[in-house]
Amino acid sequence: MNTMRTGLLMAALMGLFLAAGYLLGREQGMFIAFLMAAGMNLFAYWNADKMVLRMHGARQVDRQTAPEFYGLIEELARRAGLPMPKVYVMDNPQPNAFATGRNPQNAAVAATTGLLGLLNRDELAGVMAHELAHVRHRDTLVMTMTATIAGAISMLATYARFGMMFGGGRDRNNAMGAIGTIAALIVMPLAAMLVQMAISRTREFGADRGGAEISGQPLALASALAKISGAAHRIVNSTAEANPASAPMFIINPLSGLRMDNLFSTHPDPAKRIAELQRIAAEMGSDAVPQAGPWNSAPSHAPGPWG
């Protein structure tokens, strides 16, 4: 059901993009919009993962540089039946994580130093299992494509703004004159944002269930969400604030909500997610309680989780 809903929402997003092109330039504008969407999605398919990891300053770690964290991901990937993803750490105090990659064979998971310092091992396992569930469901590709199309609609809105400034609203090629320009400038980007929000929220609930199944401890994931949702809004993620299009990728909304473009959250209410995880725990017969203390607090002769 979630897959069908996501497909319908993505089709609606693409329809919005083509409609925006038509409003601005009739059939020719719609054809140009289609070519833009195809080109941008093709580029994103091959390069989006590298771009977002670079954008957030993520550095790759391995068994030598982060043995505990890398070993945890290795164990979770095995449970999930997935190839071992690349593992990254972001030097950022905000507790958060995301997954990226066009398919399970080219996936990467990334966590912030803030996350690694806040959670115990069971909670961290729940969070990273959530990210691996995104990989298994191929949500990373879906969210990349939706972000690309939504960004392209914003580009058309920018074109409409310039067209209005220079009298483009009176152009004969514009399907509805000034009304069409205003629609492309205001209504289309807003509608695209709402559709992107709906897709992201649908996939988050699915990944919570998948993460609970992979880790086997839904209550630990619920505990992690409670911790990081509170901390995420107290600690500003300046990189995410400068690049809000990447926000839907994170397990918890990394944006502070202080700006107008943060008015609509791309993530479900954490309280609803926690309640659903508690329901899943009862369904699974799980009453495990996460251990106290940081996940890497146990004595170890190995280096820390991120080196």
Residue-wise pLDDT tens digits, 219-258 = 999 999 999 998 988 898 888 888 777 788 899 989 875 5
Enumerate the domain spans of the chain.
Answer: 2-284
Measured CA distances, 181 to 20, 37, 193, 201, 261 (Å): 9, 20, 18, 30, 21
- Which tens digits make up the pLDDT trace of 169-201? 445 455 455 665 665 667 666 666 666 666 667
Query: Is 131 known to be catalytic?
Result: yes
Q: Which whole number is the average pLDDT over 276-302?
A: 61
Structure-block tokens of residue 162: 């310039």
Q: Which residues, including other chains, have CB under 8 Å from residue 219's CB and lie 6 or more apart? A: 277, 278, 281, 286, 287, 288, 289, 290
Assigned token pair, 37: 């969407």
- Residue holding tokens 């959670």? 119
Band (pLDDT 50/70/90 cuts) for residue 109 is very high
pLDDT digits (tens, 9 = 90+) for 111-170: 999 999 999 999 999 999 999 999 999 888 777 777 777 766 766 666 655 555 445 444
pLDDT band at 74 (very low <50, low <70, confident <90, very high): very high
Could you say which of 68, 74, 123, 131 is catalytic? 131
Within 10 A of 194 (CB to CB), how many other CB atoms are there?
15
Quick one: pLDDT band at residue 52, thresholds 50, 70, 90? confident
Neighbours of 261 (CB within 10 A): 12
Distance CA 245, CA 148 (A): 9
Q: By percentage, how much of the chain surpasses pLDDT 70?
A: 66
